[in-house]
Amino acid sequence: MASRSSKRVKLDSGQRGALSASQQSSLDGNVTDPASIRAKRAAFLSSISRSISPPETQRSEATTPQLRNETKEDPKQHATPRSPQPQKHSSEAHHHGESSKSSNAQSAIVGSKPVSATKLIPSPFRLTTIYDLPSSKNVDTISLHDILGNPLIKEAWIFNFCFDVDWLMTHFDSDIRSNVKVKVIHGSWKNDSPNKIAIDDACRRWTNVESATAYLPDQFGTHHSKMFILFTHDDLAQVVIHTANMLEKDWTNMTQAAWLSPMLPLLEGNHVEKPGNIGTGTRFKHDILAYLAAYGSKTKALREQLTQFDFRSVRGALIASVPSRIKEPSITQHSKAIWDLKLWGYPSLLRALQSIILQQRQTQPSDKSSRQSPHVVCQISSIATLPQSWMNQFFSILYSTLQSTSSSSVQKWDPSHISIIYPTPHNVAASLDGYASGGSIHTKAQSAAHLKQIAGLRDSLYQWARGSKEETRAGRDEAAPHIKTYVCFESKPSTIKPVPNVKWALLTSANLSQQAWGALRPKDKEIAVQSYEIGVLVWPELFAEGFDPEGATETDKQDSGRREDAENNNASTSTAYGSSREKIKMIPVFENDTPAPLSRSPSPSPSPPPDSLDHQFCGPETLIGLRIPYDLPLTPYGKDDMPWSPQGVYEQPDRWGRRWPRDFS
């Protein structure tokens, strides 16, 4: 496929001012002062010994979400949603605009509240731009050029599974493309690997690009992590964790997403850091340095640089995998030491979810919504061979973190708590690239063992398809999924309640596989993790105004939780991390990143459920959007539907009239 040229959106002075203000605001005030950044940038540009300065380009907005307070806004301001500006191949930053469709849907969700009490925070996860969809479907999206097009980037570390280096380099600013220092980290260690051959060949053409191979001790393990770590000439750093390979087709017409840290400044003076609670920036820094240490000396220079930067503005938990062996008792113990262990794969996820449960008990100790049965939607692009024992272990962790994880007590997983979104052959055929997109979507459906596994999962399988409710459509049903998300809703999305609140959400490179998440080996009493994976976990309580005062430890939080349970049983809206009267919700948003302002219409809003306490609450409220890539409620498989398998033969033509695999040989 011929490479499409990247187009950069140049902003006029008014637009630049507006964007700068939003980008430099921070949830907790730890981001470098905007005036300081502008002054540094101006000083640097004036020192460059060339006749012209780099063109000003739109910068991708930091997605540790920025607070938006509705207090000072005119009620008429949101009467008509702001229309997205025209765009084709580059993503405009629309984090502060709303689509009318999402506005209507979300107003029904949250009802009416005084405008003075509401803060709106855009989604921490951003979808990537889809080349062949209209601008109305690309509101708030981000392109690869938005990530790499900053002319001040001096060094880029790029971790991924598969690379087209020549294509990748076209997304750096043309003025720096030939001298920006690029380090490519991959896992293709075999000399006859096509990926390794192509990378090594490209490195000979690009003298500023070097490659390194991650050590994979297991033949079934892969280097599947997808991450950028960027350093700029004005002494800033950024971490971007995403789901796309470094291939044109992944960034063109396939559904992907990214989490972007804020621009991280250097630490000031002799600031001594101590890792905080799970979810804080200091803990995130601790965990990402531990992850990078798994690469050994190949990432030593990177770790030494990253140590110098201030991560306190970050909100999110790093959930990663590296090839490792973890002793089984370490994930079942409840001692103080568990918070300090290096855990990978599903033990790492379990620990983080236990922390979330603790926080949510403190913020909502008597909220009746917490008594609903949570429902987890696993949306993935690959389903590996999964033994029943592994599914019992993994799925139970997702919807019931309080359940013991020892092999002797795990019960059979309950399909009523789990939905798995994976496309059918019809879904793939109808996508923008047709069957061509199916090469990146994997499961096996040929042998008796494969068919038995599919039969066991059938009650939980859902299509990647257009939903029945227009107001809760994500606008991505035509873009085949390579994204991987795990979202825990307060209840199962249904026709009656299609958009329940979100308890937690994970964006990751990890599909449903033992290699990615780890598998318990009872004989050795250990959990074996075989692959490199990386993701970010978020939840509502992260965005409380006073979340996790610096210096608090995880065990301090446990003690605090016990006191809160004892003292605040009647304070259903209190939080240990912010205002004692602060209500925090994470809600699904569709076709844009920011939750809609609360309804100001004089007409009555739909009444909340009788068991809801929202109508009793009059204090400040924070709404965090979570950009959903699929339509709600979900579309189940039909009785004759099967999962897409690239090993299958499909004679039904796709949208381009091609059949699989005969027209792709």
pLDDT digit string, tens, across residues 278-290: 999 999 999 999 9
Confidence of residue 234 (pLDDT cuts 50, 70, 90): very high
Catalytic residues: 224, 482
d(CA 373, CA 393): 18
Q: Is the pLDDT assigned to residue 375 strictly greater than 80? A: yes
Question: 298-302, 387-391, 411-415 — which is least confidently predicted?
Answer: 411-415
Question: Which residue positions form the known binding site?
Answer: 226, 484
Look at residue 20 in the predicted model and tell me its pLDDT: 40
Q: Is the pLDDT assigned to residue 558 strictly greater than 80? A: no
Tokens linked to 638? 């039909």
Q: List Cβ neighbours of 492 (8 Å cut-off, separation of 6 or more).
A: 373, 375, 416, 419, 500
User: Please, what is the average pLDDT of the chain?
Assistant: 81
Task: Say if residues 421 and 464 touch (Cβ distance below 8 Å).
Answer: yes
Confidence of residue 582 (pLDDT cuts 50, 70, 90): confident
Identify the CA nearest to 199 among candidates 151, 247, 153, 241.
Answer: 247
d(CA 160, CA 484): 15
Identify the CA nearest to 538 among candidates 627, 438, 630, 475.
Answer: 627
Look at residue 368 in the predicted model and tell me its pLDDT: 54
Task: Say if residues 234 and 241 touch (Cβ distance below 8 Å).
Answer: no
Task: Say if residues 475 and 464 touch (Cβ distance below 8 Å).
Answer: no
**Could you tell me what percent of the chain has a pLDDT over 70?**
70
Residue with the larger pLDDT of the pair 65 and 283: 283
Look at residue 403 in the predicted model and tell me its pLDDT: 42
Identify the CA nearest to 533 among candidates 551, 557, 556, 513.
Answer: 513
Residue with the larger pLDDT of the pair 573 and 446: 446
Confidence of residue 327 (pLDDT cuts 50, 70, 90): confident
Question: Which residue positions form the known binding site for substrate?
Answer: 226, 484
Q: Is the pLDDT assigned to residue 401 strictly greater than 70? A: no
Highest mean pLDDT among 197-201, 271-275, 603-607: 197-201
Q: Is the pLDDT assigned to residue 271 strictly greater than 90? A: no
Confidence of residue 270 (pLDDT cuts 50, 70, 90): confident
Confidence of residue 399 (pLDDT cuts 50, 70, 90): confident
Compute the chain's Rg from CA coordinates: 24
Q: Where are the domains of the chain?
A: 146-306
DSSP-assigned states of every residue in 438-507:
GGG-B---SSHHHHHHHHHHGGGEE-S---S-GGG--S-TTS-B---EEEEESS---SSSSSPPEEEEEE
DSSP-assigned states of every residue in 600-640:
--SSPPPPPPTT--GGG--S-EEEEEEE-SS-SS--BPPTT
Look at residue 447 in the predicted model and tell me its pLDDT: 93
Task: Say if residues 206 and 183 touch (Cβ distance below 8 Å).
Answer: no
H or E element in which residue 201 lies:
helix 194-205
Q: How far is CA 41 from the centre of its chain?
A: 29
Look at residue 114 in the predicted model and tell me its pLDDT: 54
Residue with the larger pLDDT of the pair 53 and 239: 239
Angle at the Cα of 492 (from 487 to 495), degrees rounded to 5?
Answer: 120
Q: Is the pLDDT assigned to residue 298 strictly greater than 70? A: yes
Question: 325-339, 440-454, 584-598 — which is least confidently predicted?
Answer: 325-339
Question: 191-195, 232-236, 331-335, 541-545 — which is least confidently predicted?
Answer: 331-335
Confidence of residue 153 (pLDDT cuts 50, 70, 90): very high
Confidence of residue 365 (pLDDT cuts 50, 70, 90): low
Tokens linked to 102? 């999402």
Which DSSP category does 528 fall into? E
d(CA 154, CA 233): 6
The CATH architecture that domain 146-306 belongs to is 2-Layer Sandwich (3.30)
